[in-house]
Homo-oligomer: A and B are copies of this chain.
């Protein structure tokens, strides 16, 4: 095992999915444009820190849609993808009226966990407002339990996104 193996991303060496390296998909950002409206600001005239989670969710759902997965359909079929982990580093504040691009991509799938990476940047890519990671896990809505494996449609679509 190479020194560079990310110890947080174990290890099903026979899985096509896990073999896909971060580098291989480095260009595969999905881009979701946003504009800051008044309801998204706080007393400082800048975006309230929790607002970014709404955009990150929107970008994720739009990204899934772009690869053929309708999130509402998925939920209706009994599979939910709740957030189990979030980490965000706020680098610079977006102000009312400003535009930006929410960039996202999946960087890891381990069983039923899907890790999404985020960067929110200015349209000209000069400024990075935020970097972050969000982890989802597939849950069987009826049983209220984590699924044993991702639905095939989801897995196949995500793998295709990386190719």
**CB <8 Å contact, A39 and B37:** no
Inter-subunit contact B97/A90 (CB<8 Å): no
- Surface stretch bound by B, among A13-21, A80-88, A108-116, A154-162: A80-88
A30 within 8 A of B: no
User: Does A68 interact with chain B (Cβ within 8 Å)?
Assistant: no
B96 and A85: CB pair below 8 A? no
- In angstroms, how far is the closest chain B Cβ from the Cβ of A97? 3
A71 to B37, CA, bound (A): 9
B-binding residues in A (CB < 8 A): 35, 37-39, 41-46, 48-50, 53-54, 57-58, 61-62, 70-73, 75, 80, 82-90, 93, 95-98, 141
Q: Which residues on the B side are within 8 Å of A73 (C-beta)?
A: 97
Bound complex: CA A102 to CA B62 (Å): 19
Q: Which residues of B contact A61 (CB under 8 A)?
A: 37-38
Complex CA distance for A89 and B133, rounded to whole angstroms? 12
> Contacting A88 at CB < 8 Å: which of B35, B80, B85?
B85
Give the nearest-CB partner of A85 in chain B: B89
Beyond the given pairs A41-B42, A50-B53, 6 more chain A to chain B contacts, judged by CB atoms under 8 angstroms and listed by A's residue number, are A39-B54, A46-B82, A53-B53, A72-B97, A82-B90, A86-B88
Most chain B beta carbons < 10 A, residue from A48, A88, A141: A48
Find out whether the CB atom of A53 lies under 8 angstroms from the CB atom of B38: no
Please, how many angstroms separate the alpha-carbon atoms of A35 and B64 in the complex?
Answer: 14
